[in-house]
Structure 1
């Protein structure tokens, strides 16, 4: 691995391409776009691979940056705060009179608590993906009225998109401009991010030039349309590697663009990048971990990552494949690029994505084989157990319904076990891991088939005349007309 690029020196472009290609090929990403900056300089922008139409991915290919969008919303609020139009520690209701939740503590939620995800609203109290999706930011405020609070405002960090839907609506109301127009006029435009925009809803509002992303299953990247979701304010920004380079510069240049245009003060940048409580690493639209500031972005068909390093380097990555079981997004690639530019040791790309899917595929095949074997033995099973009481047969057969119950509750189980309580629908779970859903569906169908076959075999089994069950065969049965040795 080459040594670090010295200040102002461009990194070895061939090395960057090798790192990106290695990650993309190993992790199942058809296309990846990258930007690397230092201070107010763009050191590298480029693309690798292809989009779902077959076109080459370049530094100008528009792709969703998903939850990286939250940092744009936070900056918009900070601009209003620095203009004296918003006080971060004032209640949200001061600026959104229509805002309320189904909990009296909601009146205390502040603007800052929306931005640092400590409002008390969570996916557990407002299932923002499972509920009907609003069509506008105003609709998102109305939907939030049904939310309870998981904790007192300001006491617990709970990451949820709803906080940023509300923050974006606040920008609309205070500025008097639609949120989309506000970002275009006050953020994207001044930075020269001419290929960047934000949308309300997927897939309805996606620009025509944004191609479908991908889901991943059994080693194949499959073009897929993003499920319907409301995303503005939380994860609705569409951008390019070239434009994200400009965004990285303003973050590492004390709030100024490369041409000197100021978007926000140095103290505003510091406030956004810094967590105010050691219990959680989240600032205002950014995560702060040991001096590395960044944010990941997750759609079901795209992932993104921005990373700001202590030495002034900035890295942005967008990949056209969604988050999945065994795949944590493009954060690993951002870390490898960070090691490349700073001279640290960059580990080789190592993805368990394919391994996980192959294991799930093997379990699916095993479930099918076991089901076939069990079905072939249905008559013998019925003959052997037909004399048992009905209640005992019911108890014996009831576990066959467990896989079906697990399939139905799989979204909730998965989010509780590995999703941190984040909401997900069954359709979205299919995007996240089709092989997992297929395995549980096969298990459920196989066990229901076995249950139906066994019940049918029991009900169709002939009953002897008189209602008596014929005696079981015994090794000492005596042919008719022959005396038994033990009979006088």
Structure 2
């Protein structure tokens, strides 16, 4: 009898296990043909690009152990179609390559993660002695104590020309925090790491990447540059854009030293190979791979990756890349063995949520429904155009009312008018520090603010000019009224 019961329990257990497997939510690629999923992805990407004034893009998707899809969208200015071998700047996606180069040298015993960075160089004479305590791990995890305020990156009056010159800046800078105490995303951290790779490998940084990462992974069209001028000079790269009042404007990338944190150029075909390598065990030992893809103790940053984990998606590593006329997004769902990367020929834009591309494609790959939103560049730019026109019309109407008014301008009314009229002017003048506050400490130059929010700036300028004109008219009427009464005192008295 017990034998029969055991057999029944065994059959029941197997049945329940089978039902559990069958009940597991199936991804789109398991229940639909590959061509159907790719077609839905194409429709989603093209629709989202159109809604955000994006001229060109390239996409790479990997699933399990294979390249699921690579595709180009749009055309270059000379009419050539963008394809999966069209090169795009990947900006800060470069940081994960730089981190890998460092960890390879750790694996070879040439670098120690917890050794002071300064111990690898003999020419340090830092003003702030805490700089000697910055470790290689601190630089990788973005916890060096440096940030854009104390160590300018994009707003330097004289841009760096070499990695050695970047290193010399450590002799004069004052740390914002003790090393290892706080997370602060800072590009120069990865410039120091690039120099460390050069110093300990004996190779130029670009040559090291080519010999030890690009070539072994078969990334034949990927390269590294030190300055964005080299992007502008490369005719194979689609020209970048920013959006001005609803119209994409072709623009050269402003000169910027990017060796280490943001200098790599790649293709959809090559990025697919890169993403596959993140979970196939080809890059590092399991122990180093774990550290590479795990968040640090003081923030969400791992080593060249933002590392996160949630109940639905499991472990993910991701990064975004921002230039003023180019953008890139990459997310790898490690537990689901799914990776998505996209590169765009348009840059940082206050009205474009580039991460929505990756999120939407991931939902399609998982068999979920994508969500549409009215908050996109096309709609927001239309709102800004209407605001500019409405502000001009409102200004004309206010001037008409002022000249038609029979009421005397009192000091109180004048002060209230001044307070309200100066607000947009103050916002315009302090736009850079406001953007720094909103952007978690990243200090943006004015040309960067212009490309990211040109329509908003135009509206603020128009509103400021309207308010200035109205204030001048009210001052004139105020003084005329005082003069008629024989009062010559200041309106502030």
Query: TM-score range with shorter-chain normalisation?
Result: 0.7 to 0.9
Inter-partner Cα distance in structure 2 for 1:253 and 1:99? 40
Inter-partner Cα distance in structure 2 for 1:71 and 1:374? 55
Residue 51 of structure 1 pairs with residue 76 of structure 2? yes
Aligned match of 1:433 in 427, 450, 453?
453
Residue 413 of structure 1 pairs with residue 434 of structure 2? yes
SS of aligned partner of 1:355: helix
Inter-partner Cα distance in structure 1 for 2:134 and 2:271? 32
Task: Give TM-score, length-normalised by structure 2.
Answer: 0.84
Residue 182 of structure 1 pairs with residue 201 of structure 2? no
Residue 30 of structure 1 pairs with residue 17 of structure 2? no
Tell me the residue number matched to 2:337.
312
Equivalent pair of 2:92/2:322 in contact (CA under 8 Å): yes
Tell me the residue number matched to 1:213.
240
> Number of paired residues?
453
Aligned match of 1:18 in 33, 43, 46?
43
Q: Cα gap change, 1:123/1:328 in structure 2, threshold over 3 Å: closer, same or farther? A: farther
Could you tell which deviates more after superposition, 145-154 or 79-88?
145-154
Tell me the CA shift for residue 237 of structure 1: 0.7
Q: Cα gap change, 1:347/1:457 in structure 2, threshold over 3 Å: closer, same or farther? A: closer
Could you tell which deviates more after superposition, 422-431 or 47-56?
47-56
Tell me the residue number matched to 1:230.
257
Aligned match of 2:194 in 168, 176, 186?
168
SS of aligned partner of 1:288: strand
Could you tell which deviates more after superposition, 124-133 or 162-171?
124-133
Unaligned runs of 5+ in 2: 1-25, 310-314, 488-493
Tell me the CA shift for residue 217 of structure 1: 3.4
Inter-partner Cα distance in structure 2 for 1:357 and 1:127? 31
String of CA shifts for 1:172-191, please: whole Å, max 9, x gaps. 22222221121112211222
Larger radius of gyration: 1
Q: Cα gap change, 1:10/1:372 in structure 2, threshold over 3 Å: closer, same or farther? A: same
RMSD: 2.9
Equivalent pair of 2:414/2:474 in contact (CA under 8 Å): no
Inter-partner Cα distance in structure 2 for 1:153 and 1:319? 35
String of CA shifts for 1:413-449, please: whole Å, max 9, x gaps. 1231x31221111111010011111011112222223
Equivalent pair of 1:66/1:303 in contact (CA under 8 Å): yes
Inter-partner Cα distance in structure 2 for 1:361 and 1:146? 46
Residue 287 of structure 1 pairs with residue 311 of structure 2? no
Inter-partner Cα distance in structure 1 for 2:183 and 2:163? 23
Tell me the residue number matched to 1:244.
271
Equivalent pair of 1:46/1:241 in contact (CA under 8 Å): yes
Tell me the residue number matched to 1:403.
424
Residue 84 of structure 1 pairs with residue 104 of structure 2? no
SS of aligned partner of 1:65: strand
Tell me the residue number matched to 2:284.
264
String of CA shifts for 1:134-168, please: whole Å, max 9, x gaps. 11222222334443323221121111112111111
Aligned match of 2:92 in 64, 67, 91?
67
Could you tell which deviates more after superposition, 376-385 or 138-147?
376-385
Q: Cα gap change, 1:209/1:395 in structure 2, threshold over 3 Å: closer, same or farther? A: same
Equivalent pair of 2:231/2:253 in contact (CA under 8 Å): no
Inter-partner Cα distance in structure 1 for 2:186 and 2:439? 12
Q: Cα gap change, 1:24/1:397 in structure 2, threshold over 3 Å: closer, same or farther? A: closer
Tell me the residue number matched to 2:180.
154
User: Which is helix-richer, 1 or 2?
Assistant: 2
Equivalent pair of 1:197/1:239 in contact (CA under 8 Å): yes
Aligned match of 1:122 in 147, 169, 189?
147
Equivalent pair of 1:125/1:150 in contact (CA under 8 Å): yes
String of CA shifts for 1:184-242, please: whole Å, max 9, x gaps. 12211222212111111223554232122121233332222222222121111111001
Unaligned runs of 5+ in 1: 257-262, 470-488
Equivalent pair of 1:134/1:143 in contact (CA under 8 Å): no
Tell me the residue number matched to 1:198.
224
Task: Give TM-score, length-normalised by structure 1.
Answer: 0.84
